[in-house]
Amino acid sequence: MHYGGKIILGIVIFVGLLLSPFAYNAMTVKANYKQPELKLPANEKKCIESLEFMRTKHMQLLNEWRDWALRDGKRVYVNHEGKEFTISLQNTCMKCHNNKAEFCDKCHNDAGVSPYCWDCHIQPEGLK
Amino acid sequence: MNALYSLVFVFILVLIPLFAVGAGHMEFGFGVCIPYTAFALFLIGFVWKIIGWAKSPVPFRIPTTGGQQLSYDPELFKQNKLDNPSNGFQTVVRMILEIFAFRSLFRNTSASLHETKGGPVVAYASAKWLWLFAILFHYSFFIIALRHLRLFLEPIPFFVKGLDFMDGILQIGAPVMYQSDVLIVAGLLFLLLRRLVDAKIRYISLVTDYFPLFLILGVALSGIWMRYYAKVDVVAIKELTMGLVTFNPHVPAGIDVSFFVHVFLVSTLMVYFPLSKLMHMPGVFLSPTRNMPNDNRFHHHVNPWNPDIKPLSYEAYEKDFGPAMAEAGLPLDNPENAKAPEEA
């Protein structure tokens, strides 16, 4: 094998990079990884939409809410059951989900998402 | 027809997980077994292929490179150090430019025929489109692959977060649009249309040219579908992917079938990769016209697999065959050699 040393070095680097996530997690993840548990509001059992809808489409809803409230002046949201809610992140969502660190951040940190909600909105109390 | 076969084949590849997971509920098989197997086959096949290349004979330095080589008079004939390197450093620079900037594609030209009053005229012009879209495609693919580390690492390292932020910096829509998603589709569509529109290229295009394009397009589109349209449960998917990289495989509930389509297409790509032209990824490092300096004029290169033959002078030859030569009547430089060597 001519130039074998260099080629094998290249292979080792490539395979090492591909396997590095296994090593990384072996060092950082202590117990088996589980998706984060959210601290749900104590006094309210039902969100404005179903659990499945909120889990996957809340960002779409919030985006639409912003457009409706700030660009169209529409402040009333009618959910799939026909119930009405005021379109407001701080007065409707955060009335129940009042702790960003215990709710929003839990999944967002794990998914590596940093929404720009708080560029404009005031963060929930107790958190800066 | 080649393009159509490839497209139909990718459709079938989409339908398999769609039915097996959607109707057959084989989540574990398609979420754990197939990705593990595909990843293992990818690694083994990749290394196997390169070892095979490494064992094959290395050609003599190939000096047919574009540009003036180091001449006897570097003042009169200025050396083109990037295109015709004469030492290791210049060769490394050439390789870096080739790998990171696709320099040989940048020099792509296209020939065209023009009718003039004096008869047809052939014209050659620089054609940068291939280079542009190839570089868009490759860098987008690379960024997308790195961005996926957010699903495979916990905690997410800073460079993955930074990459994610930069890629979505336009903040269009929610979840934010990634520029790399747009660019990879644009790049792939150009590379595909190039083969379909230009009759000359269509004529030389095979199934193995179209299939990777359609397959990677399928991977990209299924990913885009998951993120922007199906809006899959990313946190549940991270539990699955983290299970894979911590050897604790399990499939949490609530994962959309589009995820399994995406994973199956990626698994197909991983298995297909070492068997296909996609091996140009490691192959570019081993290009014999790119990775060797052109120093034939001032270095004596001995073919490394030549047998070790010692030089034999005429004096030594005459000593060995002296008696036989004398017997045949051949003239001898040294008459002493005619005598038979004394028996020891």
Chain A CB contacts of B234 under 8 Å are 107, 111, 113
The answer to whether position B344 is within a domain reads yes
User: What is the pLDDT at residue A114?
Assistant: 87
Give me the CATH number covering residue B84: 1.20.950.20
Minimum CA–CA partner of A62 in chain B: B174
What residues contact B218, with CB distance under 8 A and at least 6 apart?
Answer: B10, B13, B14, B265
Whole-number pLDDT of residue A125 = 59
Same domain, yes or no: B220 and B156? yes
> Are A29 and B246 in contact (CB < 8 Å)?
yes
* Alpha carbon separation from A9 to A6, A15, B104, B174 (Å, rounded): 5, 10, 26, 43
Based on the domain organization, do B210 and B339 belong to the same domain?
Answer: no
Task: State the average pLDDT over residues B58-71.
Answer: 79
What is the distance between the alpha carbons of residues B99 and B104, in angstroms, rounded to a whole number?
Answer: 10
pLDDT of residue B304: 73
pLDDT in tens, B244-299: 999 999 999 889 999 999 999 999 999 999 999 999 999 999 988 888 888 888 88
Mean of per-residue pLDDT scores for chain B: 91
Q: Cα separations (Å) of B133 from A5, B65, B138, B139, B263?
A: 35, 25, 8, 10, 26
Provide the residue ranges of all domains of chain A, joining segments of one domain with +. 1-34, 51-119
Same domain for B166 and B209, yes or no, is yes
Of B171, B235, B247, which is closest to A35 when you measure between CB atoms?
B235
Predicted pLDDT at B182: 96
Residues B103 and B154 in one domain: yes
B319 and B277 together in one domain? no
| Cis amide leading into B155 (omega within 30) | yes
The answer to whether residues B230 and B334 belong to one domain is no
Is the pLDDT confidence value at B343 over 70?
Answer: no
Indicate whether B114 and B226 sit together in one domain.
yes
Nearest by CB to A3, which of B58, B161, B247?
B58
Taking contacts as CB-CB distances below 8 angstroms, the residues of chain B near A57 are: 231
- Domain shared by B256 and B327, yes or no: no
pLDDT at A124 over 80: no
Residue A10 near residue B291 (C-beta atoms within 8 A): no
Chain A: give the shortest CA distance to residue B83, in Å.
22
Which DSSP state fits B96? H
Contacts of B36 in chain A (CB under 8 A): none
Tell me the residue range of the domain where B96 lies: 2-286
Question: pLDDT value at position A96?
Answer: 86
Nearest one of B261, B271, B273 to B237, comparing CA atoms: B261
Q: How far is A27 from chain B (nearest CA, A)?
A: 10
pLDDT band at B332 (very low <50, low <70, confident <90, very high): confident
Strands A84-86 and B109-116 come out as unpaired
Does residue B303 belong to any structural domain of this protein?
no
Q: Coil, strand or helix: which one is B332?
A: coil
C-alpha dihedral sign at B50, B53, B54, B55: positive
CA distance to partner chain B, nearest, from residue A78 (Å): 20
**Among B38, B12, B16, residue whose Cα is nearest residue B260:** B16
Alpha helices (H) along chain B: 2-22, 27-28, 34-55, 88-101, 103-106, 129-147, 158-167, 179-197, 199-204, 207-224, 234-245, 257-272, 280-283, 314-327
At residue B336 the predicted structure's pLDDT band, cuts being 50, 70 and 90, is: confident
In a domain, residue B271? The reply is yes
Please check whether residue B261 lies inside any domain of the structure: yes
Structural domains counted in chain B: 2
Q: Which chain A residues touch B155 with a CB distance below 8 Å? A: 28, 109
The predicted-structure confidence for A36-91, as pLDDT tens digits, reads as follows: 888 888 888 889 999 889 988 999 999 999 999 999 999 999 998 888 999 988 88
The model scores a pTM over 0.90: no
Taking residues B207-212, report their average pLDDT: 95
Whether A128 has a pLDDT exceeding 50, the answer reads no
User: For residue B182, what are the contacts with CB-CB under 8 A and spacing of at least 6?
Assistant: none
* Residues β-bridged to residue A84: A78
| Other Cβ atoms within 10 Å of A88 Cβ, number | 15
ipTM attached to this prediction: 0.90
Tell me the nearest-neighbour CA distance from A44 into chain B, angstroms.
Answer: 23
Closest Cβ opposite residue B153 in set A14, A21, A60:
A21
Contact A85, A76 (CB under 8 A): yes
